[in-house]
Amino acid sequence: MNDARLPEDDIFHDFIDKERNNIVKEYDFRFPWRRRALTFNGAPLTFNGSPLTFGGAFTVVDGPLKGRDALELCELGLAWWEDKVAMLEAQIDVATE
């Protein structure tokens, strides 16, 4: 196995692969969902006496991407996959010409 890592593949190694392994093999998510009370000028917003809440952000809680927004990382991961697929498609097109 080749341990050399390209910087452009960090999103794969540090997020896609690690999260896949955490979820599939350990049933563990590194980005828990946290509900937060909505406020306006410091006062809680309510509806019929109940506080309004927002799910907030998925924040990675450990590892090299600790503190990063997991939804942003998902977007980066999708872009990484799209680039890899486009590169492979280009190689196939060249090989079949």
Prediction pTM value: 0.52
Residues, the chain: 97
Q: What is the mean pLDDT of the chain?
A: 76
Give the CA distances from residue 78 to residues 12, 32, 35, 43, 49, in Å, rounded to whole numbers and listed in that order.
10, 20, 26, 38, 41
Average pLDDT over residues 50-63: 68
The pLDDT tens digits for 11-52 are 888 888 888 877 777 766 666 555 566 667 777 777 777 766
